[in-house]
Structure 1
């Protein structure tokens, strides 16, 4: 039985990859290379989606997109809640039951939601030491200020981050700082809000002022199981092509 289920999952992954290829072609992205990252919310409110297999389905759908982008046909997985965690790669060889094996068996769902820690970690993963955080004011007791050495990484392969959450966060000022400063690097943030929350902060990030280039997009999905694969891929790729064009013109990516 388990062998049959795994084979069926592998066949589904191939079909998903074909659908992703069609969406990429529509956006003029055939042959485009990118390092793909998936950031997943592990706050307690996500429990139903983890236990119900929805997050596993999301991982498979994102992997199918990454298989068309990434040189090693994989996506790097990160988690965020009160803290942040690096999980490792999801790829064709380990995708089956990935969430149960690599997330639920290793990490507990957490009590709150912060974005900045995992975003900082993702930036540092692809662009080591590009961002620095300093405290301003007397004896360093003031507000944190994030700066970036944008000359350190030029003409790199683009980084495409899919960031999935079901709620707003508690560290909005720091998150805005990372978005602004990382706009000087070759990294694009695709935020996906899941559920019927207002997502006021993520909507604000979509139009955030003070950036070098527009490096973020947001869309909302009320129910991940009800959105078709085609619609999901088209939405995920909505602003990525225009960002690629602008980032390339500014020598941020190859």
Structure 2
């Protein structure tokens, strides 16, 4: 059973109904229907991201994440971390107030700095631990470039591998840019040499992420989650009860 029903989405966020339906198809395809999980969104607020805020790409991603989260988490909200050199904001987006929400948040933020992954990762880890959640979490982490400190980002990812958090990185921008070499490397870090399980994935959404079809985006967002769930359950990181999706 879904966390939030179609009729509830129709009442509270009618503009997201098609996204909700598309997300449901992808979750079923990957054996994740009926799963309960927290969903986080981490958004790059560095200076080079300005065009993606201006053209609505970040809002479009937030809407798509809400459509996905409604199947997995029954509170109708997604915690959001905006980061640049530091953590610029820790807030949330909600089904009932999603339209234009990203612009309203960003209007209250200051300078768009550089890119520090590890501080945003730390904020997500703290929020998850403080929440007392027992369900696993899918962290959708958007960026348009590599981090200021590659060593710190790698260290945080490896330490977080012992927590029930899966990090799905998504790149905005030129797919051929060397800026994404680090994320490709992060995606392939050795198991168990560097981390106890493979707790991260990466895919590129291109220079106009809004053009990625909803079905394709959802498949990419959840495609590696089932394999991680199986590995994390085998290691005792995620409780064994509940939906066990096929690999």
TM-score (norm 1): 0.83
Q: Which runs of 4+ in 1 moved over 6 A?
A: none
Unmatched runs of 5 consecutive residues or more in structure 1: 1-6, 129-152
Q: Name the one with the larger strand percent.
A: 1
Q: Which residue of 2 aligns with 1:4?
A: none
Measure, in 2, the Cα distance between the counterparts of 1:55 and 1:212. Answer: 32
Instruction: Give the aligned CA root-mean-square deviation in angstroms.
Output: 1.9
Q: How does 1:1-254 map to 2 (within 5 A)?
A: 10-101=13-104, 103-128=105-130, 156-196=134-174, 197-198=177-178, 199-209=180-190, 210-222=194-206, 223-254=208-239
Measure, in 2, the Cα distance between the counterparts of 1:116 and 1:109. Answer: 19
Measure, in 2, the Cα distance between the counterparts of 1:74 and 1:31. Answer: 18
Measure, in 2, the Cα distance between the counterparts of 1:54 and 1:216. Answer: 23
- Greater shift after overlay, 235-244 or 108-117? 108-117
User: By how many angstroms is 1:109 displaced?
Assistant: 4.5
Aligned residues: 222
Instruction: Assess if the C-alpha contact under 8 Å between 1:114 and 1:169 holds in 2.
Output: yes
Measure, in 1, the Cα distance between the counterparts of 2:236 and 2:165. Answer: 12
Measure, in 2, the Cα distance between the counterparts of 1:221 and 1:87. Answer: 24
CA offsets, 1:62-114, max 9 Å, x none?
A: 1100111112132110011011134322111111110111x222113422111
Unmatched runs of 5 consecutive residues or more in structure 2: 1-9, 240-247
Measure, in 2, the Cα distance between the counterparts of 1:109 and 1:77. Answer: 18
TM-score (norm 2): 0.85
SS at 1:191 equivalent: strand
Instruction: Assess if the C-alpha contact under 8 Å between 1:192 and 1:221 holds in 2.
Output: yes
Instruction: Assess if the C-alpha contact under 8 Å between 1:156 and 1:252 holds in 2.
Output: no
Measure, in 2, the Cα distance between the counterparts of 1:89 and 1:179. Answer: 23
Q: Name the one with the larger helix percent.
A: 2
SS at 1:160 equivalent: strand
Measure, in 2, the Cα distance between the counterparts of 1:55 and 1:14. Answer: 19
Measure, in 2, the Cα distance between the counterparts of 1:183 and 1:192. Answer: 19
